[in-house]
Amino acid sequence: MECGHYDRFECRSCTWLERPYDDQLAAKHATTRELVRAGLGHRPEPEWLPPVPSAPEGFRTKAKMVVGGTIDAPSVGLWDPGRGAVDLRDCALHTPGIQAALPVLAGFVTRAALAPYDVPTRNGELKHVLVTESPAGELMVRWVLRSTEAEARIRKHLPWLLGELAALRVMTINVQPAHAALLEGERELVLTEQETLPMEVNGLTLHLGPRSFFQTNTDVAAALYRSAQEWVDELAPATVHDLYCGVGGFALHLAAPGRAVTGIEISGDAVAAAERGRDGAGLSADRVRFVTGDATAYLLEERADLVVVNPPRRGLGAELAARLEESGPAAVLYSSCNPETLARDLATMRSYLPIRAQVLDMFPQTAHLEVLVLLTRA
């Protein structure tokens, strides 16, 4: 992939940009395999399926952009301590829909007179603009502001933006008052009638709320959920727990006749969105239910034949990994975005033998990846 921003040292986020894509994929597969092997110790290796590649560019369905510059000449990109605000509105990792939307959003900054936040002087209001595109090409736009000072102006000019960006479905203000490197704050004001973005994945409609997690690469996420569905169906568990379920990607894919699925997630907004996806799929709350709560605490209370875990980068941690080891579900499906914490957790889960594993490349041009491992109890 060619990138002028990289060549000019304006943005070096794509740390593997100079590596041919096939090499990137092979290296991710090899290093993940090595780490998993170390975590397993003397246990046999799983069957490794070929890694799932991604389109090398235009795959990112989520843009997290720092807004800098001035009201009349805003930049949409990143903040660099040496260079200040860098404009990356044409970043080739984003989907074409997001690349087309970012200049229009920069125009909105000027029109609604949203003063970009200046990190050194702490002046200004607008910190970030966060954009998500659904597979249908619809957009969710979130303005991260220091306060609600600009709310009236944003509302006033929203009809103009809806005219310019026909795909815009959900728009919100997120309030992040702290002078800290936080992407977003706790408070969200939804300005459009529609509050969630429908994300169709493998024929299922998941609903993405403003403050909920969704995988960055929707095509590869679809492959991840398909693998999960196939591997779990082979084991045919009667009860499944999906810990860290987000808006229900795994739980809804794993619903099947005669199977009870429970998703557990810390974010109440994500749980509400997951329930919406379930209702839209015509699944009853008896078969698929979602619980707002802490994954570790939940595992203490109920048992399942198969437990899906898809934690943040920090992994399960000693307590939950030990709890899984003790509580003894017959199978565990672990989806990880960090093979190092996966390996550490596998070392704790000593009674589990790995059956199958696969690297899925959600993040081309970087060393990041997703890996799915199916384990059964020895």
Ligand X SMILES: C[S@@+](CC[C@H](N)C(=O)[O-])C[C@H]1O[C@@H](n2cnc3c(N)ncnc32)[C@H](O)[C@@H]1O
Which residues are annotated binding-site positions? 215, 244, 265, 310
Residue 249 binds ligand X, judged by CB under 6 A: yes
Distance CA 233, CA 91 (A): 39
Residue 215 binds ligand X, judged by CB under 6 A: yes
Residue 266 binds ligand X, judged by CB under 6 A: yes
Dihedral sign (CA 169, 175, 178, 179): positive
- Interface segment toward ligand X; rule CB under 6 A; list 42-50, 170-178, 238-246, 282-290: 238-246
Residue 295 binds ligand X, judged by CB under 6 A: yes
Smallest separation (angstroms) from ligand X to the CB of 240: 13
Cβ proximity to ligand X: between 48 and 298 the closer is 298
| Two structure tokens written together for 340 | 């190092």
Residue 20 binds ligand X, judged by CB under 6 A: no
Indicate which single residue of 36, 109, 165, 245 sits in contact with ligand X (rule: CB under 6 A): 245
Residue 337 a catalytic site member: yes
Closest CA to 246 of 219, 220, 276, 202: 276
Indicate which single residue of 22, 294, 302, 319 sits in contact with ligand X (rule: CB under 6 A): 294
Residue 376: partners with Cβ closer than 8 Å, 6 or more residues away:
235, 330, 331, 352, 353, 355
- Interface segment toward ligand X; rule CB under 6 A; list 42-50, 98-106, 182-190, 209-217: 209-217
Residue 352 binds ligand X, judged by CB under 6 A: no
Smallest separation (angstroms) from ligand X to the CB of 124: 29
Distance CA 10, CA 8 (A): 5
Query: Which helix or strand (DSSP H or E) is residue 265 part of?
Result: strand 260-265
| Two structure tokens written together for 198 | 């429908």
Smallest separation (angstroms) from ligand X to the CB of 53: 19
Residue pair 261/242 in contact by the 8 Å Cβ criterion: yes
> Rule CB under 6 A: which of 134-193 touch ligand X?
none
Residue pair 207/273 in contact by the 8 Å Cβ criterion: yes
CA–chain centroid gap for 158, Å, is 27
Which residues of the chain form contacts with ligand X (CB under 6 A)? 213-215, 244-246, 249-250, 264-267, 270, 294-295, 310, 312
Catalytic residues: 337
